[in-house]
Amino acid sequence: MKKNVKRCLIFLALTITFAITLCASVISVNYLKFTKIPLNAQALTSPSLSIILFDNENREIQEDNQFNGSFCRLEDLSPHTKNAFISIEDKEFYKHKGINKKRIIKAMLNNLKSFKLKEGASTISQQLIKNTHLSGEKTFTRKLKEVALTKKLEKQFSKDEILESYLNIIFFGNNCYGLESASNYYFSKSAKDLNLQESCTLAGMIKSPAKYSPITNYDNCLNRRNLVLKEMAKDGHISLDEKLLAQSKPIDLNISKREASEKLNSYTQAAIDEASKILDMPAKQLALSGYKIHTYCNQEKQEALKNSLKKNHIEDVSNCAIAINSKQHAVEAYYGNSNLKLLDIKRQPASCIKPLLVFAPAFNEGIISPDTQILDEKIKIGEYSPANVNNKFSGYVSITDAVKNSINIPAIKVLSYIGVDCAKQYCEKLGITFDSNDNSYALALGGMTYGTTLKDLTNAYTVFNNRGNYDKCVFVKYITDSNNRLVYVHKPQEISVFRDDATYLMTNILQETAKNGTARKLSTFSACEVSSKTGTVGNKNGNTDAYNITYTPDEVVGVWYGNLDNSPSPLAGGNQPTQAVLDYLSNITFENKNFEIPSSVTTAKIDSLELEKNHRLVLASPYAPSRYTQESLFSRFNMPTEVSLNFLEKPKINATATAQNNQIVLVLKAEKHIGYQIYKDEVPYQNIKDKQDTLTVRLPFNEKECRLKIVANYSIENEETLESEKTFTLVNNQKTQIKSNNQKWYI
């Protein structure tokens, strides 16, 4: 037994030794191979580069694609600025030779614990190589390349030269490459003039510019800045008093109104950002490597979109717009006007979420039809008391009217019918993401914790003019390398979210919205059919966001106006955004003019009397006169089956008659579609028609006795008449009573 255990241990030891030797050999061979990769000095020292982009017709896009043009010299920076980056990124920068072995061992142990490559232990030298020579993928092969090139870097450049290059290439978000660019943007000053807390703010951001953005994630940024201050104090670069004083101060941003704001929200910048994610490398490396980005940009639409926003510009209000081809899932135009990058900014979507979250899912689930009536009334759900605009309620309204007039209460009620979880599942398939706290009925009105981006909101609407199919939209069509070899091609992968009957019913309602609803500014547009939805976000101080999402048979255009600081502005979805959409549509051409009606949608005659009286959708009797029917759209999967009893049987007469004070008092509950003739002792007395009410008719009664007759009738489609009658025999006792009183009077 002992011999077997000993043999197993020896075998295990040999196996481990062999595996280690093999791994070491593979690593050594690859490392030697990677040492032959040349160091690109231009990538380290060039202050300015550009990327070539092409439109959908392979014409070069004539927009400014240059970036990283601002350069700062290390000798001009304050010690606080240099030390802030060293303390948080690489404490041993001036001591190691490019690789910090202690940090690597620590990172390896942490990675082994988590079974993930979470930590890389990169020094500033390694980060410089990664950002100028390599992709961002976390693999051992890339790490070996990084180490080999870092060794070369340390031999050819001094520490100060490395640090200077590093500070001039790192990314700070909002299109800021390099410290000088970031300093000018976030604080409106040169990098040499940064104070302690400003330096620490920028040093803290570079780990994740989005997560630690002082604009969109202020608390994260503040905590990160204070961590940098703590590390500087620990390293002896600042005193404890300096640390505490700086930590007590807020982040005092002074966003510059730079001329580059157009570039920040341009089509080309969005395409470059997307290409960087696709190839997992910084924009500067894309330029250095000679990659060419071929996009879906339609120059006609891009120019029209830009001009429409400029024409409808509001002072001190940001705006942006996007146009998406629904069939290709391609962004054909994008433009924004702001000092902040708007493409990934999340805002409350307001009523624009209703078709996606509430009504289209309800159509798909067979819960409603366009003419389904919902009671618009004051409601309270737990502690939630929603209201309509101006706190007005309309009584029973159709789904069509509720959508086109953007009435809130019906949307909340329909959401309650389908359930919040079911509704969210539909929306999530459309690329709309929710926070874990987004579980209330306020979602029906756009009440989300973080909101959504204009791009995602607009792209979700492509499901309506693409027969219920969805895919994520993109800017980049394909990418080629410096030798014109294809390295990436966009291949749409659609998923089915709604049936085509549900999407067409939604489209038809949103057409009404564009004709005579909240988007009625589009009613003058006639070049092709359009469907539209508006949305406005506001509070007691005024409106903060305004939207219009409009689509034609082929594309969807979304427009947003607002301020990221939530300051109120004279905005409304039906005003500036809708006007901008109208101006855009008026300056482009269209291939398809009309929405396609799927075979899964049909029309049926319903009884308008039953709808008006009992708010039910029932099929009209085949004998019903046309004046009492209406054509309604239905999904073939959600047709009414009940046939109205109106015009199938003799009319019912609901009436009472009594004798009072020498009068006959007739109380008649009249129906609008029934005509009534009143006879007294066979003599015609009065005709009643087109009345829907309880009527009181008084007739003189001087006789001892009389016969009252009511004849009710209506005509049906084949000119036949259905008729019924009701009679009353009345005795007048009033005279006898009067005579008795007279006798008493004479006594």
Distance between first and last Cα of the chain = 141
Does residue 120 sit within a domain?
Answer: yes
Is residue 631 within 8 Å of residue 602, measured between CB atoms? no
Between helix 420-429 and helix 408-418 the angle, nearest 10°, is: 90
Which residues 6+ apart lie within 8 Å of 326 measured at CB? 462, 465, 466, 551, 554, 555, 556
Which residues 6+ apart lie within 8 Å of 686 measured at CB? 677, 678, 697
Region 76-82: mean pLDDT is 94
**pLDDT tens sequence across 81-112:** 999 999 999 998 888 887 877 766 666 666 55
Is residue 87 within 8 Å of residue 231, measured between CB atoms? yes
62 CB-contact burial (10 Å; exposed 0-12 / middle 13-18 / buried 19+)? exposed
Which residues 6+ apart lie within 8 Å of 421 measured at CB? none
Is residue 408 within 8 Å of residue 433, measured between CB atoms? no
Classify 162 as helix, strand or coil: helix
Residue 422 has pLDDT above 60, yes or no: yes
Which residues 6+ apart lie within 8 Å of 264 measured at CB? 174, 175, 336, 338, 339, 340, 341
**704 and 667 inside one domain:** yes
State the pLDDT confidence band at 219, using cuts at 50, 70 and 90: very high
Does residue 518 sit within a domain?
Answer: yes
Residue 115 has pLDDT above 90, yes or no: no
State the pLDDT confidence band at 56, using cuts at 50, 70 and 90: very high
**320 and 398 inside one domain:** yes
Beta strands in 671-720 (DSSP E): 675-680, 683-688, 693-700, 705-715
Of the two residues 225 and 145, the one the predictor is more confident about is: 225
- Least Cα distance to 267 among 333, 319, 318, 313 occurs for 333
**Tokens at residue 609, please?**
């009397």
Of the two residues 235 and 281, the one the predictor is more confident about is: 235
Q: Where are the alpha helices (DSSP H) in 193-282?
A: 196-205, 218-234, 240-247, 261-264, 267-279
Cα–Cα distance measured from residue 364 to residue 346, given in angstroms and rounded to the nearest whole number = 28
**332 and 474 inside one domain:** yes
**Tokens at residue 303, please?**
């120019």
**14 and 39 inside one domain:** no
Q: Where residue 156 sits, what CATH number does that domain have?
A: 1.10.3810.10
In this prediction, what percent of the chain has a pLDDT beyond 70? 86
**pLDDT tens sequence across 320-371:** 999 999 999 999 999 999 888 899 899 999 999 999 999 999 999 999 999 9
Residue 686 has pLDDT above 50, yes or no: yes
**130 and 235 inside one domain:** yes
Residue 526 has pLDDT above 70, yes or no: yes
**Region of poorest pLDDT, from 22-36, 341-355, 406-420:** 22-36
Cα–Cα distance measured from residue 746 to residue 260, given in angstroms and rounded to the nearest whole number = 110
- Least Cα distance to 547 among 415, 630, 455, 417 occurs for 455
**pLDDT tens sequence across 540-566:** 888 999 999 999 999 999 999 998 888
Does residue 592 sit within a domain?
Answer: no
CA angle, 681 then 685 then 688, to 5°:
130
Radius of gyration, CA atoms only, the chain = 37
pLDDT of residue 740: 39
Q: Where residue 479 sits, what CATH number does that domain have?
A: 3.40.710.10
Which residues 6+ apart lie within 8 Å of 13 measured at CB? none
DSSP 181: H
CA angle, 510 then 513 then 516, to 5°:
150
**351 and 386 inside one domain:** yes
**85 and 174 inside one domain:** yes
Residue 3 has pLDDT above 70, yes or no: no
Cα–Cα distance measured from residue 72 to residue 565, given in angstroms and rounded to the nearest whole number = 31
Cα of 170 vs its chain's centroid, Å:
31
Q: What is the DSSP string of 357-380?
A: IIIHHHHHTTS--TT-EEEE----
**5 and 81 inside one domain:** no
Is residue 175 within 8 Å of residue 260, measured between CB atoms? yes
**Region of poorest pLDDT, from 161-165, 284-288, 497-501:** 284-288
Region 6-32: mean pLDDT is 55
**362 and 442 inside one domain:** yes
Cα–Cα distance measured from residue 41 to residue 133, given in angstroms and rounded to the nearest whole number = 10
Does residue 271 sit within a domain?
Answer: no
How many residues does this entry show for the chain?
747
- Least Cα distance to 605 among 623, 579, 592 occurs for 623
Range of the domain at 74: 35-247
**87 and 192 inside one domain:** yes
Does residue 90 sit within a domain?
Answer: yes
Residue with tokens 């009679």: 727
State the pLDDT confidence band at 26, using cuts at 50, 70 and 90: very low
Cα–Cα distance measured from residue 657 to residue 662, given in angstroms and rounded to the nearest whole number = 13
Does residue 288 sit within a domain?
Answer: no
Does residue 268 sit within a domain?
Answer: no
Pairing relation of β-strands 675-680 and 683-688? antiparallel
**453 and 350 inside one domain:** yes
Residue 18 has pLDDT above 60, yes or no: no
**606 and 717 inside one domain:** no
Residue 491 has pLDDT above 70, yes or no: yes
Q: How many domains does the chain have?
A: 5
Which residues are registered as beta bridge partners of 606?
A: 619, 630
DSSP 77: S
Cα–Cα distance measured from residue 534 to residue 686, given in angstroms and rounded to the nearest whole number = 52
**pLDDT tens sequence across 574-583:** 999 999 999 9
The type of residue at 60 is E
- Least Cα distance to 294 among 67, 489, 482 occurs for 489
Does residue 269 sit within a domain?
Answer: no
Cα–Cα distance measured from residue 350 to residue 454, given in angstroms and rounded to the nearest whole number = 12
In this prediction, what percent of the chain has a pLDDT beyond 90? 61
Residue with tokens 């789904």: 399
- Least Cα distance to 527 among 597, 578, 593, 581 occurs for 593
What separation in angstroms does the CA of 169 have from each of 45, 212, 422?
A: 9, 18, 46
Region 16-34: mean pLDDT is 50
What separation in angstroms does the CA of 132 have from each of 32, 128, 242?
A: 21, 6, 35
